[in-house]
Amino acid sequence: MTQLTHLQRLEAESIHILREVAAEAEKPVMLYSVGKDSAVMLHLAKKAFYPSPPPFPLMHVDTTWKFKAMYALREKAAKDAGMELIVHQNPEAKEKGINPFDHGSVHTDMWKTEGLKQALDLHGFDAAFGGARRDEEKSRAKERVFSFRGENHRWDPKSQRPELWNLYNSRKSKNESIRVFPISNWTELDIWQYIHLENIEIVPLYMSEKRPTVMRDGMLLMVDDERFPLKDGEEPEMKSIRFRTLGCYPLTGAVESEATTLPEIIQEMLLTTTSERQGRAIDHDQAASMEKKKQEGYF
């Protein structure tokens, strides 16, 4: 008897999903956010199709407000994988100068939700891989691996298909598309463990370093560039911080930490007691649940 470890089983399952989509979809794309989950998903894609490069492009739906370090890794990761990199920035949001400081949830709506729909329509992608996991949040626990979107990318909870065994039904009508989540069954710990084990390159912001910070509304924010408007009396303070999750820098809270290696990060993660998404402002915003955002087309 030979037994696969849980990470080997997860890896094999994810690769199976990636290949099914590559074989059955007409024009797939991999959404890439430059975060750790995206890094794992991209790594799995490289493995699934080796020695070929993954047979689809990478696409970053950009908000122009990501950390500088993320932009740097984005270019490198695509090049290393031998994949085309598509960057989409919502022209309307750009024109209106939408930003997280002045526009609150409109920022996410326009840059991310609208931007994603635009980019998918523009290129005619019929299947888009995303790095969401079921353990991230209660409402995601029941999300399918293949999530169907109707016209205008709306998610209709009633028309989702049962998923049996490892048989995925990818058939769809003309105006429909699929979001596919190959790492649905991975937990945060699995992701970190796998990054460690496979030596996957991630944005250095996940590791602690002295960085300029400001405390605002209970969140520890990093002053990543000169666009950060300081309020009266605010003075950036150098602190040893790292990020558990990465998004737009003004919306992503850091944690004070001394962890500079992956094992130390994992150690900290296991011993801390705050769940991952708490660092993201989006969830606290008004009463907007993930469920509602999903129905509107947010990933």
Partner 1 sequence: MSDPIYKTEELIAEDINAYLDLHQHKSMLRFITCGSVDDGKSTLIGRLLYDSKMIFEDQLESLEYDSKKVGTQGQEIDFALLVDGLAAEREQGITIDVAYRFFATEKRKYIVADTPGHEQYTRNMVTGASTADLAVILIDARKGILTQTRRHSYLAHLIGIKNIVLAVNKMDLIDYNQSQYDQIVSDYAEFAQQIGITGFTPIPLSGLKGDNIASKSDAMPWYDGVSLIDHLDDLQISSDSNQSEDFRMAVQWVNRPNLDFRGFSGQITKGTIAPGDPVRILPSGKTTIVDKIVTMDGDLENAYKGQSVTLTLKDEVDCSRGDVIVAADNPPEVADQFETTIVWMAEDAMLPGRAYQMKIGTQLVSATVQSPKYQINVNSHEQMAAKTLELNNIGVCEISTDKRITFEAYSDNRAMGGFILIDRITNATVAAGMIHFALRRSQNVHWQAIDINREAHAALKNQKPRTLWFTGLSGSGKSTIANLVEKKLHALGKHTYLLDGDNVRHGLNKDLGFTDTDRVENIRRIAEVANLMTDAGLIVLTAFISPFRAERQMARNLLQDGEFIEIHVNTPLKVAEQRDVKGLYKKARSGELKNFTGIDSPYEAPENAEITVDTTTMSAEEAADAIVKHILG
Residues in contact with partner 1 by the rule CB under 8 A = 1-13, 15-16, 19-20, 22-23, 46-53, 134-135, 138-139, 141-142, 157-167, 169, 171-173, 176, 184-185, 187, 189-190, 193, 196-197, 263-264, 266-267, 270-275, 278, 291
Query: Using CA atoms, how far apart are residues 77 and 82, in angstroms rounded to an integer?
Result: 9
Could you give the CA distance from residue 65 to residue 56 in angstroms, rounded to a whole number? 26
Q: What angle do CA 97, 102, 108 make, to 5 degrees?
A: 75
- Minimum distance, C-beta of residue 246 to partner 1, in the bound complex (Å): 19
Nearest distance, CB of residue 48 and partner 1, angstroms: 7
> Which residue lies nearer to partner 1 by CB, 70 or 200?
200
Query: End-to-end alpha-carbon separation of the chain, Å?
Result: 40
Cα Rg, the chain, nearest whole Å = 19
List of residues 6+ apart from 172 with CB closer than 8 A = 126, 148, 178
Give the residue with the Cβ less far from partner 1, 110 or 191. Answer: 191
User: Measured from the CB atom, is 154 or 196 closer to partner 1?
Assistant: 196
List, as one string, the DSSP characters of 152-185: GG-B-GGGPPP-BTTB------TT-EEEE-TTTT
Q: How far is the CB of 190 from partner 1 (least distance, A)?
A: 7
Between 152 and 166, name the residue whose CB sits nearer to partner 1. Answer: 166
Q: Least distance to partner 1 from the beta carbon of 169, Å?
A: 5
Q: Which amino acid is at 146?
A: F
Residues 6+ apart with CB under 8 A from 152: 117, 297
Nearest distance in Å: CB 281, partner 1: 14
Q: How far is the CB of 77 from partner 1 (least distance, A)?
A: 15
Show the tokens assigned to 146.
């293949």
For partner 1, the closer of residues 22 and 251 by Cβ is 22
Cβ proximity to partner 1: between 152 and 289 the closer is: 289
